[in-house]
Amino acid sequence: MKLTKGQLAVIVCAAVIIIDQILKIWVKTSFYWGEDYEIFSWFHLRFIQNNGMAFGMELGSKIFLTLFRIVAVSVLTWYLVRLCRNPEISKGYVVCISLITAGAAGNIVDCVCYGEIFTNPMPTDVATFVPWGEGYSTVFQGMVVDMFYFPLVSFIWPDWMPFVGGDRFSFFDPVFNFADAAITVGIIILIFFYYKNLTGVPEEKSKENSKTECKSIKD
């Protein structure tokens, strides 16, 4: 069965949000805050929570960030609907915008709901579900759950190195979640394969213009 762009967008968004929330709820109710489980030397599951944006970054107040996310997702959803109705837009571009939209929406769920429905105990206790309103915070004040940690490179600088001698270097330090990954993948694919759409030139028109130019050169 051939999917329409609208159906594809719904499937991608639903899949990202569902997978993201399943992982977050599992980690939050199975790991204590700060717990680290090594799967490989370069891949850990590490439960942390943050008030900020993707990859644990912090910017402005919590309520401001949550409201900003809601506005951003609303605009992206409106844009996505318009893309699905445009016959000149490719399905690949729709998938990219769907990944970004769903990733942002996934983190909104944490901010809006988690403070109301989860406890937030000190280590080594794990969080539990509670009735709405009995959680660790209020609506819009929930913390975002992160769990993926990739310490790909780690070493101690030699003592003779100026400024950094004896310090530990680690790459990649940020801990992130599935929603962050969806946003990142969507942006990377967008930049490398659909950059012409960002300039307002539909992919199909761009191809037609290229063919016309080539034909003119041959003639």
Residues belonging to the active site: 146, 180
Classify burial at 145, counting beta carbons within 10 Å of its beta carbon; exposed 0-12, middle 13-18, buried 19 or more.
buried
Sheet holding 175-176, edge to edge: 36-40, 43-50, 144-149, 175-176
How far is the C-alpha of 151 from the C-alpha of 70, rounded, in Å?
32
How far is the C-alpha of 130 from the C-alpha of 106, rounded, in Å?
21
The token pair that represents 45 in the structure block: 């599951």
How far is the C-alpha of 157 from the C-alpha of 169, rounded, in Å?
7
Residue 56 per-residue DSSP state: G
Q: Which residue has the tokens 């799967």?
A: 39
For residue 38, the surrounding DSSP H or E stretch is strand 36-40
